[in-house]
């Protein structure tokens, strides 16, 4: 990553009693709330969305992120270890002094696990800063042109190279939480077609390129989830019309200069609610998870 707190482009990422939900595992009972563990990066942690979680200040985790929304609506007991700037390595290693590896939150008692990860591994989020152009073309440099010079898309290649590591991570989640349904929450809708320069300082071709990269990451997350017995949660579709070019009151993702409390190019409170709603719908859907590969 190029910054300690990633500038998210993309983004890996939505009520009722337990009895109304589809069964998560046989361990869940009416008297015992389902145990939900949330893993992931800043798309899940929702940095700067109030109120902050005092449990781990370095992670800039919000008490209004999508895991909290989903846990409340599912009546679940939440263990939220999401952390801004996390990579897949931080699932197994400490990200900051005093911050345990995220895998440590997993156990056979877990009924639900969500994970949003990958944007930092491939440095997808860092590309946002390289794509900013205050002035119109030709007064600047196109990140789309730079990243595809020579006929190979460097960012998509990094995503593809990372995909096997994500598959390994999903297998480890399943090993540590063998009774859990695993949900891979994807990254969302950041740019509408052609963007909205100069309101948001990304040229048309760069806005289209960046959303294309996010979509490619989403496709990799979906495919890998299906291959490893997890369920992919689409957050692009709920975000249509709520991208960074929407009116301030309609945005789910804040622009380069936020108009509501949130980190730039990250979900705001409304976005976290929509993502949480999408996750709840996936959890309650019958037979959402494909069979695990043998």
| Residues assigned a catalytic role | 42, 266
DSSP E strands, 205-260 = 231-233
Query: Which helix H or strand E contains 156, and what residues bound it?
Result: helix 154-176
- The SS3 call for residue 293 is coil
End-to-end CA distance of the chain: 35
Structure tokens at 238: 């709920």
The SS3 of residue 231 is strand
Q: How far apart are CA 39 and CA 35, in angstroms?
A: 13
Residue 231: phi and psi, rounded to 5, are -110, 130
Tokens for 120, please give them: 């930092």
**Contact call for residues 285 and 76 (beta carbons, < 8 A):** no
């Amino acid at each position: 990553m190029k910054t300690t707190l990633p500038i998210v482009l993309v983004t890996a990422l939505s009520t009722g009693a337990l009895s109304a939900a589809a069964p998560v595992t046989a361990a869940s009972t009416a008297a015992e709330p389902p145990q939900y563990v949330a893993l992931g990066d800043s798309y899940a942690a929702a940095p700067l969305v109030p109120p902050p979680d005092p449990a781990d200040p370095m992670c800039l985790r919000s008490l209004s992120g999508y895991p909290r929304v989903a846990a409340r609506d599912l009546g679940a007991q939440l263990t939220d270890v999401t952390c801004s700037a996390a990579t897949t390595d931080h699932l197994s290693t400490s990200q900051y002094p005093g911050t345990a590896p995220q895998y440590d939150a997993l156990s056979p008692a877990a009924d639900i696990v969500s994970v949003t990860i990958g944007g930092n591994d491939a440095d997808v989020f860092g590309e946002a800063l390289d794509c900013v152009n205050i002035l119109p073309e030709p007064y600047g440099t196109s990140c789309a042109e730079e990243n595809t010079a020579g006929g190979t898309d460097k960012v998509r290649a990094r995503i593809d190279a990372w995909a096997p590591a994500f598959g390994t991570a999903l297998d480890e989640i399943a090993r540590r939480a063998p009774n859990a349904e695993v949900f891979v929450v994807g990254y969302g809708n950041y740019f509408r077609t052609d963007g909205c320069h100069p309101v948001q300082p990304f040229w048309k071709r760069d806005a289209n390129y960046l959303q294309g990269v996010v979509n490619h990451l989403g496709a990799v997350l979906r495919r890998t989830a299906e291959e490893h017995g997890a369920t992919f949660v689409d957050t692009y579709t709920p975000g249509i019309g709520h991208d960074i070019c929407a009116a301030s009151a309609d945005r789910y993702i804040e622009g380069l200069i936020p108009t509501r409390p949130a980190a730039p190019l990250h979900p705001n409170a409304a976005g976290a609610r929509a993502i949480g709603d999408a996750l709840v719908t996936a959890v309650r859907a019958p037979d959402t998870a494909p069979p695990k590969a043998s």
